[in-house]
């Protein structure tokens, strides 16, 4: 990692692809089993009506969304087809194949990344994803957020952590790397719960990690709790301390895909600092250097 404090996704791309690589964020028109009644309704208390892709236009087909980014492009950059919004494996396998095929419509696409829930991974889906490995890189992003099932029930995650372990096992058996989403600042959680989540995640050896703080988005259950004085988002100092703990306690080869979250500016209620990515990363860098921390420096196999 040379002078870098952690193994950034951008560094992985430069080493692996030898080119600049950017994500094309895609809305595949999916919903979520935690919204349609299969395992719950309303979704997670921090999730908006459009999922994590609030800025995406689902009126466009997948091919149109990708085509708009690639139209006329002839440079050296390459792209990742990233199914971001809601649960992007929540459909019959035949339909999933149609959507993924649409996304892989150009040789400029070097990877297929699929964000989903652990309870929406099974053998047929893993087999489908594995079938694309001859065409491009493939990885899956799994929303865990926390390993504490008490917190998971409070935020209405809709599945227990044991389900995540099973999904990780299935993906590993099919040779599909996976990225784990973790959140810092969930209601009722502190450093003790975060440390337990890190130990839990390290045990399954994910390829990558995505971190972000809990932010309060307009129109969510979490906003109501915030307005009622029943929830306070983490301060910048608390987030930096938590993120530094995660980074220093995971293996040095784990790829860190993200360290901040993206809330549409017109929907962000709190905290204000979460909208300033550069500040967050600068504060994290300074904290880690001041405390002699770097990725894996506190990791115990």
Residues in the chain: 301
For 148, the 3-state DSSP assignment is coil
pLDDT at 49: 67
d(CA 4, CA 11): 10
With contact defined as beta carbons under 8 Å apart, do 268 and 275 qualify?
A: yes
pLDDT at 96 over 80: yes
Q: Residue 162 domain-assigned?
A: yes
pLDDT in tens, 183-228: 999 999 999 999 999 999 999 999 999 999 999 999 999 999 999 9
Q: Residue 222 domain-assigned?
A: yes
CATH of the domain at 66: 3.20.20.70
pLDDT at 50: 54
pLDDT at 294 over 70: yes
For 266, the 3-state DSSP assignment is coil
Q: Residue 130 domain-assigned?
A: yes
Q: Residue 296 domain-assigned?
A: no
pLDDT at 52: 52
d(CA 199, CA 185): 17
Report pTM: 0.93
Using left for φ > 0, alpha for ψ between -120 and 50, and beta otherwise, residue 145 falls in left
Q: Residue 2 domain-assigned?
A: no
Report residue 14 as tokens. 């430069």
pLDDT band for 1, please (50, 70, 90 cuts).
very low
Report residue 233 as tokens. 């988002």
pLDDT at 56 over 80: no
d(CA 255, CA 7): 5
With contact defined as beta carbons under 8 Å apart, do 11 and 295 qualify?
A: no
Residue with tokens 């001041």: 290
Q: Residue 300 domain-assigned?
A: no
Domain that holds residue 91: 9-290
Percent of the chain with pLDDT over 70: 96
Q: Where are the alpha helices (DSSP H) in 72-214?
A: 93-103, 123-131, 149-154, 161-173, 191-202
Average pLDDT, stretch 66-70? 91
Helix axes 93-103, 123-131, angle to 10 degrees: 20
Using left for φ > 0, alpha for ψ between -120 and 50, and beta otherwise, residue 296 falls in left
Q: Count structural domains, the chain.
A: 1
Q: Residue 181 domain-assigned?
A: yes
pLDDT at 269: 96
pLDDT in tens, 161-179: 999 999 999 999 999 999 9
pLDDT at 150 over 80: yes
Q: Residue 263 domain-assigned?
A: yes
pLDDT at 213: 93
């Amino acid at each position: 990692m040379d002078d870098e404090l952690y193994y950034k996704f951008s560094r992985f791309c430069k080493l692996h692809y030898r080119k600049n690589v950017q994500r094309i964020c895609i809305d595949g028109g999916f919903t979520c089993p935690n919204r349609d009644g299969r395992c719950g309704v309303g979704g997670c208390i921090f999730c908006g009506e459009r999922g994590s892709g609030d800025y995406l236009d689902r009126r466009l087909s997948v091919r149109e969304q990708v085509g708009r980014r690639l139209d006329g492009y002839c440079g050296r950059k390459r792209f990742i087809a990233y199914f971001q919004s809601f649960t992007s494996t929540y459909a019959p396998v035949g339909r999933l194949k149609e959507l993924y095929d649409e996304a892989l419509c150009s040789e400029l696409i070097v990877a297929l990344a699929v964000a989903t829930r652990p309870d929406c991974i099974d053998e047929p889906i893993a087999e489908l994803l594995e079938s694309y490995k001859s065409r491009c890189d493939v990885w899956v992003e799994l929303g865990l957020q926390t390993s504490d099932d008490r917190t998971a029930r409070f935020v209405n995650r809709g599945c227990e952590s044991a389900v995540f372990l099973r999904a990780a096992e299935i993906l590993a058996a099919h040779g599909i790397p996976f990225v784990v989403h973790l959140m810092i600042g969930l209601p009722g959680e502190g450093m003790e719960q975060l440390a337990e989540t890190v130990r839990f995640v390290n045990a399954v050896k994910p390829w990558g990690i995505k971190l972000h703080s809990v932010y309060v988005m307009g129109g969510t259950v979490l906003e109501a709790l915030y307005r009622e004085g029943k929830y306070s988002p983490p301060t910048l100092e608390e987030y930096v301390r938590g993120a530094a703990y995660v980074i220093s306690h995971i293996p040095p080869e784990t790829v860190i895909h993200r360290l901040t979250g993206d809330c549409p500016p017109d929907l962000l209620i709190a905290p204000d600092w979460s909208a300033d990515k550069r500040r967050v990363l600068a504060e994290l860098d300074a904290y880690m250097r001041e405390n002699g921390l770097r990725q894996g420096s506190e990791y115990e196999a």
